[in-house]
Amino acid sequence: MANTALLPFEGEVLALWEGGSAYRVAPDSLETLGLKNWGEGLAHMPFSAHPLPERDGSYWNFGFAPYAGAGGTLVIYRFRPGAGMEAVTPLPLPFPGYLHDFAQTDRHLLFLVPPYRYDPAAGRTFVDRFRWEPETGSRLLVLDKDDLTRRQVFELPAGFVFHFGHAALKGRELRLQLCWYDSPALMASGMTSLVAHGQTVSPTHARASTVVADLGSGRAALETSGTVLEFPGFDERADPAAALLYGAGKAGVAGERPVDTVAAWNPATGAVDEYRYSYGVQAEEPLFVPDDSAKPGRGWLLQTYLDCNAGFTGLNVFDAAAVGAGPLASATMARALPLGFHGTFLPA
């Protein structure tokens, strides 16, 4: 069940999903060690697959409980290696729009609430119980880390987001990078198709985008690019205002061509450095691994891929500063593995 992401924690690996508790996994054998219970009353609570590290070594995470409260409940977790769960804070949502990921600055936690609203009467499964209500628009929720009850809510156009990049606060201007969909079609029909037929078909693709919010005026705007990008990652050492965003993309937004590109997008200039695989190769989520220097942007991108023509899985290593130059090194298996995402790197 816990098949979405992995987090190294206290000598183990936490296998995460978003509907309930993580599972503890042995890092060497991948043996399941049992449910991760953070404390009394927290077993089986929703716990997202995208915890965020704080500079002091602790982590933030959230749980999305659209069925709790009048408009849904957002549960904020703060936990720390060696100390366990330090705080659990339930907060009301503007409305129960689907949440998968979040972002942060030094001072804030950021959530994008799309108008893809939970309605228990809308269907039998959890995915089927969401309705698209574009007339509602989206909301950017900005929470103060020092007091989570202090928040600002910004109106944005109707859209949908799975994943976020970095966020930066300069003065009163907040800039948030994200992968923006114009509709939840991938969630609404793509996931159902995947379960029913083993394939996912979606007429919409995510574009690398930026939300600019003025904390003083309370207004926000969406800036979308023409760059198709999902599964964003970045160098945690870099200045968020200048960091590149790495991700997987497509040769074009039309048709059903699979993800076939690894890209580095510069939000400041819009420039894209990319490497495109040959036809029939499906690329997976790239993972940034920093080198031993303190220089931001120095490191590698690890990207697995499935060669559907030859029937094998491979791994490519790219220089993160020169993605378009192609792989520095490659490794292949004698067989094909199922496609995946949200991996983690464990140094030897």
100 has binding-site annotation: yes
108 has binding-site annotation: no
Long-range contact set of residues 25-28: C-beta below 8 Å, sequence gap at least 24: 27/346
Q: Which CATH number fits domain 1-92: 3.20.20, 2.40.160, 2.30.30, 2.40.10?
A: 2.40.10
Q: HSE on the CB side for 124, CA within 13 Å? A: 1
The CA distance from 74 to 89, in Å, is 8
Q: What is the pLDDT of residue 190?
A: 58
Tell me 13's DSSP state: E
Q: What is the pLDDT of residue 335?
A: 95
The DSSP bridge pattern shows strands 281-283 and 261-265 to be unpaired
Q: Which amino acid is at 145?
A: K
342 has binding-site annotation: yes
Determine which helix (DSSP H) or strand (DSSP E) holds 279, and give its type and residue range: none
Q: What is the pLDDT of residue 255?
A: 52
166 has binding-site annotation: no
Q: Which amino acid is at 143?
A: L
Count of C-beta atoms within a 10 Å radius of residue 165: 24
Structure-block tokens of residue 48 = 């997202």
> Which residues of the chain register pLDDT less than 70?
1, 190-204, 252-257
Q: Are 158 and 138 in contact (CB under 8 A)?
A: yes
Q: What is the pLDDT of residue 206?
A: 94
Q: What is the pLDDT of residue 191?
A: 61
Selection from 213, 216, 65, 70 nearest residue 140 by Cα: 213
3-state helix, strand, coil in the chain (%, to 5): 5, 45, 50
Q: What is the pLDDT of residue 194?
A: 54
